Structures are given as structure tokens and as C-alpha cells.
Amino acid sequence: MANRLTTLIGNMTLLTVFIVLTMGFCEIAVRILCKAYIFYDIEMWRYAVDLKQPSKSAELSHEHRPGASGYFMGVDVAINSKGLRDTEYTYEKPDSTFRILLLGDSIPLGWGVRQGHIYADVLEKQLNHNLNLPRYKRFEVINAGVGNYNTEHELYYLESEGLKYHPDMVMICFFINDGEIIKHRESISFLDRNSYLWTMMKGRLDMMARMMSVEKDYVDFYNDLYIPGSPERTAFDLAFNQILQNCRRIQIDPFVVLYPELHVTDETSYPFKKVHQLVRDLSAAYEAPVVDLLPIYQGEIPESLWVAPDDAHPNARAHNMAADAIYQHLASYIQRSTTEAISD
């Protein structure tokens, strides 16, 4: 009996050692593979681990680590001392400066796009180069985009941090997933924080589960976020309205940008037109200008606008097209507002 128990323990020990060594070898192999190829799941995971930290506020969930930097999707990403992917800006606004605070998620963040080619950066250059107004000598566009932020996060950031910059305008970049509720994570497991292999396995298993299940596809999933009465729609309406209300209350101009989901660029078959109309209606109640960017991508092959074959975030060309379209509307709005202010 004792011999059989000893043999069993020995076999279990050998099996455990074999499993640990195999997993270790696979972990090393995946890390080497990720040096040669870009995998969306891995890059997003690395961004979350290397550049984000849990927020002390439950309302904000997560935030960028001030001063952090890394290399993701083939581009350098540097976070400034205040947690933004942007140059350093003082809270105090310089004289004769028109300052725009841009709220949003990984799209205005510029996922997969080099600094300087993000539409916030391009827009700032266009405003300073082309718009000549006696009242303003300089225009600043402060990019407060953070990956996985929803509208509730943007509201809290505006109230707790964004208003410290004394913006003249708040630009809200809406994307279809902004109504999704993001749960606050108090802690992250060892594997979730450290293992490339675990992250890749989870991503592939999740993909297989979606392909084999009868769950909603992404179109139904996102459209259902905005069904009247749903928890997501209720939370979105409250947060979006509060942002606009706050702006109007303290005499800051709100400006809304609708960024389309880039799997479909044809206006007639775009699956989220009703959601875009909802945002336009909410914005109209506060007389907030809205720029819907879907028409500028009409006729474009969707994949030609993506940062990678498996990642539909907009690439540098798509960002540049967005900046051009936003500038045309924004420049006219600022000129008109300035003229009206002078005449008053």
C-alpha cells in the first residue's frame, strides 16, 4: 500500500513538473511569436497592464498611469504627467487661447496611430495654421481619450479633472460602444497580469465560443445597448445629458462628433443609423453641433481604414480624413460664435 502511494505521488509530481515545464515553454514561445507578429488581443492586454491603473474612484474604473510609456500596435505611446496621451498642458489657460477638451475612448486616444497623426493633433495644427481670428492667437486641443472609457467615465473625468483646464469647448467623441457598462475591477489575477499565453488562450476561446454560440452578433449587441428602458440606455442618457447640461450651465460650448463603426462604410446599409440619430436628438436639446463622420468614408473599402487586418480602429489616413471634416464644421462654428460674441 505504501509503495503504491509513493508511486502515485511520484507520478503526480512528474506530471506536475511536465505540465509546468510545458506551459513555461509555451509561454516563452508565445512571447517570441508576439515579438515578430502583432496580435490585437495581446496588444490590448499589454496596453491595459503597462499603461493603465485602477482608479481610486469607482466611477472612473481605470485611468492611465502618469508618465507611463510603451510600444503597442507598432507605435510608441507616451502618457504625460496628467495621464493623457498628449503633450503637457497647464491647468491655467494662456491668454488669447481657445482651448478644446476632447473626451472619448481608444479612437481619439489614437490606438495604433503615431503621435501627431491622431485627429486631435491634426485638428490642432489645422486650427493654428488656418484660422486667423483677432480674439485668439492660439488653439489647443487636449486629448483626454482613454481606452475603454464610456460616457459615464467621460462625465466623471470632465467633472473631476477636465474642467481644471478651463476649456472653451468640450468635444465629445461618440462611438457605438459608449453605452456599454464597464465593471470596476478591484484586482487582477497573476495570470491576467503576467501571462501572454493565458491572454491569447482566453482570446481564442472567446472567439470560438462566439462562433459556435447562438448569442447576439456585434450589431445586435450594440444596438440593444440603446433600447429604451435598458440599464445601458438609462445610464447613457443620464451621462450624456449631464455632460451637455454641465457645459451649458458654465457657458462652455459642447461639440459632438459621431465616429462610425468601420466594418460598414456604406450609409444605406450602416447598421447603427438609429443610434446616431439618438445622439443627434439628445444633442439638439442643448443646441450642441453634431458632426457625423460616416459620410466621409462613403465608398471607402472598410479594411483600408483599419490599423490592422483584425483591428477596425481607424488608421492614420482615417484620422486625417476625420480631422479635415471636423475642421470644416468647427472652424465655421468658432468664427460664427466669435462674431456673435463681439456684436453682443
Interatomic CA distance for residues 274 and 323, integer angstroms: 24
CB atoms within 10 A of CB 274: 9
Higher pLDDT, 58 or 135: 135
What was the pLDDT predicted at 1? Answer: 60
What was the pLDDT predicted at 226? Answer: 97
Most confident range, picked from 31-35, 120-124, 188-192: 120-124
Confidence of residue 102 (pLDDT cuts 50, 70, 90): very high
pLDDT at residue 302 tops 60: yes
Is beta strand 52-54 parallel, antiparallel or unpaired with respect to 62-64?
antiparallel
What was the pLDDT predicted at 17? Answer: 73
What was the pLDDT predicted at 183? Answer: 72
pLDDT at residue 330 tops 60: yes
Interatomic CA distance for residues 267 and 281, integer angstroms: 19
- What residues contact residue 132 under an 8 Å CB cut-off, 6+ apart? none
- What residues contact residue 20 under an 8 Å CB cut-off, 6+ apart? none
pLDDT at residue 342 tops 70: no
pLDDT at residue 214 tops 60: no
What was the pLDDT predicted at 134? Answer: 86
This prediction has a pTM of: 0.88
The ranges assigned to domains in the chain are 1-37, 66-183+212-343
pLDDT at residue 82 tops 70: yes
Tell me: the pLDDT tens digits for 237-266?
999 999 999 999 999 999 999 999 999 999
Tell me: the pLDDT tens digits for 151-210?
999 999 999 999 999 999 999 999 999 999 887 665 566 666 667 766 667 766 665 565
Mean pLDDT in residue range 44-65: 88
pLDDT at residue 339 tops 70: no
Torsion, Cα of 280, 285, 287, 288 (10° steps)? -40
Domain 66-183+212-343 sits in which CATH superfamily?
Answer: SGNH hydrolase (3.40.50.1110)
Mean pLDDT in residue range 295-300: 96
pLDDT at residue 340 tops 70: no
Helices (H), the chain: 2-36, 40-51, 106-109, 119-130, 151-160, 190-194, 196-212, 218-224, 231-249, 273-284, 316-343
Confidence of residue 278 (pLDDT cuts 50, 70, 90): very high
What was the pLDDT predicted at 56? Answer: 82
**Dihedral (CA of 267, 270, 274, 278) sign:** negative
The angle, 0 to 180 degrees and rounded to 10, between the axes of the packed helices 231-249 and 273-284 is 30
pLDDT at residue 273 tops 60: yes
Confidence of residue 212 (pLDDT cuts 50, 70, 90): low
By C-alpha distance, which of 136, 96, 119 is closest to 334?
A: 136
Q: Which of 17-26, 78-87, 110-119, 234-243 has the lowest mean pLDDT?
A: 17-26
Angle at 256 between CA 252 and CA 259, to 5 degrees: 155
